A = this chain, B = another copy of it.
């Protein structure tokens, strides 16, 4: 019974991560999460992608709002606003508890891996959820208005400034022990790149020391689920980034970006597996419903992926 390593960003990736957690025994799954978006705000260490994955796996995610915790309230935020503190990044009361717990444990000397393991255990999550690295690798957006921290561009500026380039401060940082350990497992059966933004959520993971080499010299299939549906992103700035890069659109652009790194692309049934020479390039393409709308969709897609990979 082989082990599965999933790489995930935030909300979209978190849905498939939750699907995989629903169908695989916990000891057979490692979920490595992007931390390039992490930032310090009001003295708190906020890890948006880790929290999205944790909330999804714990069943705490808000399905209507699409982010954060269900049954959330905003009393602390309203008071912070009244106290004259920055309010451009919205923090719910329940969500705040995660940031407080994480921040003080980090300050007390725990690694982000240890804190994440502690928090996921407390929430009853069996699978290993770990940050991509315990070191800081920060996604920076180069715009005409200067270089911006990711959250300042993404939330503060609502992605409006044209992203001339995306840089990773701290590129080459070591993968976390769980990530390095999963890559080296003799029983590793597959690596699954969840439907996350390739530039913002997956590239930071690939920018860690040795990860591209590990994928290039892979002995196991690497499968990516395209974040596009009907040629467009379900959510977030991916369409805008694709257009601004001018390196093509649609699943061919996704495949092009992952060239040499993946063997297998899962695309939605609304998209043409032959468009842009996708299948002709030698890539194995699976067509199914990748949109995860109902909770059952997550487990269904996870099952289909494992089947396509011949993983029992």
Residues of A within 8 A of B (CB): 42-44, 69, 72-73, 75-80, 82-85, 92-94, 96-98, 100-101, 103-104, 107-108, 118-119, 122-123
Contacts and interface: CB of A to CB of B under 8 A. Distances in A.
Contact of A82 (B77, B83, B108, B123): B123
A77, A85, A119: most-surrounded residue (chain B CB, <10 A): A85
Counting chain B CB atoms within 10 Å of each CB, the highest count among A72, A85, A97, A108 belongs to A97
Contacts of A72: 75
B104 A43 contact: yes
9 contacts: A42-B101, A42-B104, A43-B108, A78-B94, A79-B96, A80-B100, A83-B122, A85-B101, A93-B96
B83 A123 contact: yes
Contacts of A76: 76, 93-94, 96-97, 100
A96 B85 CA distance: 13
A79 B94 contact: yes
Contact of A79 (B75, B78, B97, B107): B97
Contacts of A83: 97-98, 101, 119, 122-123
Contacts of A75: 72-73, 75, 92-94, 97
A122 B82 contact: yes
Contacts of A122: 82-84
A120 to B, nearest CB: 10
A23 to B, nearest CB: 25
Contacts of A42: 100-101, 104
Nearest to A79: B97
Contacts of A104: 42-44
A96 B98 contact: no
Contacts of A107: 43
Given A77-B97, A79-B94, 9 more contacts: A43-B100, A44-B100, A75-B93, A76-B94, A76-B97, A79-B93, A83-B97, A85-B97, A100-B100
